[in-house]
Amino acid sequence: MTSITVSTAIATGRVELANVRRTALLTAQFRALWVIGGFAMIALVALLRIAFLGVAQPASPGDDLASALLPARGDIVDRNGVPLARAFPGIALWYDPTAMGEGAPLVHGPRAVAEALVRVFPDLDVGALTARLASGKPGYLRRRILPEEANRIRDIGEPALEFPHETERFYPQGAMAAHVLGYVASDGHGRVGMEEVFDKKLTDAATRGAPAVLSLDTRVQGALEDELSKGMASSNAKGAAGIVLDVETGEVLALASLPTFNPNLIDQGGAGNIFNRFTNQVYELGSVMKPITVASAIDNGVATDMARRYPAGAPLRIDGFEIHDHENFGGSLNIPEALIHSSNIVTAQIGDQVGGERLRATMISLGFNQRPYIELPARGFPLWPKGEWARITTMTVSYGHGLAVTPLHLACAYAALVNGGIWRPATLEKVAPGVAVPGRRVWKASTSARMRQLLRLIVEDGTGRKANAVGYRIGGKTGSAEKPGNGGYNKTSVVATFAAAFPMDHPRYVIIAMLDEPQGTVATSGQRTAAWNAAPIVGRVVPRIGPLLGVMPDAARDIDISDLAPLVGNGNGE
């Protein structure tokens, strides 16, 4: 019995041993399987990674390059591709007090560092800078510095002075054409000029790669600003403005308003000059409006005979008002003489004959009752006589008073006056060659042809003689309007304008020079009228820009005014 028990016990023990061995074997196999599985997994991941790298990794190289070269904000260029505004990687000077970790932020102490910085930037104040550095607040010490200045500051050996590279808006031409371009504010959006108009286009990644092309010509703009500033200085004027406009397309080749500002640095002084005199300020422009009245009279069949004489010997009395000339030109004048001498009395009579309704319709078709047409956001609203025009209103408007428009209105009207009678809006965007810009007909082509003769006559024999650059066939009209002041017109503050076009045998460009409150100086022979200050500006600008614009001077060529010349008695002018 016992032996049976023992053998049973041995048998049971063997079975258990076999079980243990089998379990251990299973465990080992299971573990080996895990390890193999692990390795297989790693191999699979590696293979997948290789496949990913080989197939899908780099995007097409063209995209990379394009995105790296895409400017932060699109460039603005002139009509010949000269950059006027571009995104520029500038260097700033930043103060980071935490750069050295714990302890004092500066190695040399605030006073020593401030003195070293003032040696680089002499316009900084040592005391203020010391207080700034000692305060331990991070911030810009200077928004834009030159690379050589950065090198000199590095020599100070202060880790707290850092030079972050920032994309800045840079205007290589400085203050030139500032009113057209505008500037970019610290929020990254454009202000004032085309920077504001093109803001979306210049910031959108899809469109900012290509530069925005303006109609401006840098050389013409430079010449216009140069001569305007010289004219402004010589006549001691408060301000000046001017334009060069293509009469066929309405493209603005140059537009200036002085004093100007520097869009690279908008400071207190510059901020005061942001106002655009040419597109935003309305003026009663005076005598430069007379050709518009005369054109309206010729076009409506009121003035058919250029030799017809109008009484001019005595002031004109209408509804209790008196219309004077600045001097007496004799008992009577015909239309060419009235324009040459700039007679208010005769022009008022012509305006009266045209009538309020027709003169008003002409002014409306020239857009004088609306803001001027141009892309710029700064556009002034004209002071337009409301309702039906009374007889006296028509007469004062006929010689440029009682209606205040911007000089840009006048430029577009003169373009229509000389280009065959078609008014077109002004534009600052380049018009592709060969594209016909739509416009509306204001005058007949025959009227325009007659006006070209009359305008040329004014420069040959009349008040515009100082603008007569030999060979350029300039025609134009002067205007010296007294500015409205307290209870009437102020005799000493005038707006002197010369509106012209050239060459008169085939007009291509309108050019206007305007001086705000010029004074009589030695340089202007003591006179403050446009004949002495604004007309010479045009006479100097045209020879500078004409050849650049394809208008070559030719003294042997001119518009035929032989039918009008005998009508002028004594072409002495004012």
Residue 229 or 519 with smaller CB distance to other proteins: 229
- Which of 264, 229, 228, 261 lies closest to 243, judged by CA? 228
Question: Which of 130, 215, 221, 234 is in the footprint of other proteins by CB under 8 A?
Answer: 221
Segment lying near other proteins (by CB under 8 A), choices 291-299, 456-464, 484-492, 554-562: 554-562
Segment lying near other proteins (by CB under 8 A), choices 26-34, 217-225, 332-340, 426-434: 217-225
Contact 451, 417 (CB under 8 A): yes
Q: How far apart are CA 428 and CA 55, in angstroms?
A: 49
- Which of 271, 242, 96, 210 lies closest to 537, judged by CA? 242
Question: Which of 199, 226, 517, 558 is in the footprint of other proteins by CB under 8 A?
Answer: 226
170 contributes a contact to other proteins by CB under 8 A: yes
Residue 3 or 57 with smaller CB distance to other proteins: 57
Structure tokens at 449: 């042809």
User: Between residue 80 and residue 139, which ones bind other proteins under the rule CB under 8 A?
Assistant: 82-83, 86, 88-89
547 contributes a contact to other proteins by CB under 8 A: yes
Least distance in Å: CB of 53 to other proteins? 6
470 contributes a contact to other proteins by CB under 8 A: yes
Contacts (Cβ under 8 Å, ≥6 apart) of 465: 459, 531, 535, 573
- Which of 182, 238, 181 lies closest to 492, judged by CA? 238
Residue 61 or 434 with smaller CB distance to other proteins: 61
234 flagged as catalytic: no
Least distance in Å: CB of 269 to other proteins? 17
550 contributes a contact to other proteins by CB under 8 A: no
Q: How far apart are CA 372 and CA 301, in angstroms?
A: 29
Specify the residue for token string 């005595």. 314
- Which of 291, 232, 252 lies closest to 78, judged by CA? 252
Least distance in Å: CB of 275 to other proteins? 21
205 contributes a contact to other proteins by CB under 8 A: no
Question: Which of 318, 544, 549, 558 is in the footprint of other proteins by CB under 8 A?
Answer: 544
Please tell me the number of Cα atoms within 13 Å of 150 on its side-chain side. 14
Least distance in Å: CB of 346 to other proteins? 34
First to last CA, the chain: 158
Least distance in Å: CB of 89 to other proteins? 7
- Count, residues near other proteins per rule CB under 8 A: 39
Strand partners, 142: 93
Strand partners, 423: 440
User: Between residue 172 and residue 191, which ones bind other proteins under the rule CB under 8 A?
Assistant: 172-176
Three-state secondary structure along 71-120?
CCCCCEECCCCCEEEEEEEEEEEEECCCCCCCCCCCCCCHHHHHHHHHHH
Least distance in Å: CB of 18 to other proteins? 34
Segment lying near other proteins (by CB under 8 A), choices 105-113, 167-175, 413-421, 478-486: 167-175
Buried b (16+ CB within 10 A) or exposed e, 516-532: bbbbbbeebeebbbbbb
Give 566's DSSP letter: G
| Integer-rounded Cα radius of gyration of the chain | 39
Q: How far apart are CA 399 and CA 300, in angstroms?
A: 18
Question: Which of 97, 209, 425, 553 is in the footprint of other proteins by CB under 8 A?
Answer: 553
Residue 451 carries which side chain, given as an amino acid letter?
M
Segment lying near other proteins (by CB under 8 A), choices 290-298, 477-485, 518-526, 546-554: 546-554
> Site mask, other proteins, residues 41-60, x = CB under 8 A?
---------x--xx--xx--
Least distance in Å: CB of 362 to other proteins? 36
Catalytic residue among 215, 287, 398, 448: 287
Provide the 3-class DSSP secondary structure of residue 243: strand
299 contributes a contact to other proteins by CB under 8 A: no
Residues for the chain: how many in total?
A: 574
- Ordered alpha helix ranges (H), 137-235: 147-154, 178-181, 194-197, 199-203, 218-234
552 contributes a contact to other proteins by CB under 8 A: yes
554 contributes a contact to other proteins by CB under 8 A: yes
Question: Which of 355, 543, 569, 571 is in the footprint of other proteins by CB under 8 A?
Answer: 543
Which residues lie near other proteins (CB under 8 A)?
A: 50, 53-54, 57-58, 61, 64-65, 68-69, 82-83, 86, 88-89, 170, 172-176, 218-219, 221-222, 225-226, 470-472, 540, 543-544, 547, 552-556
| Active site (catalytic) residues | 287
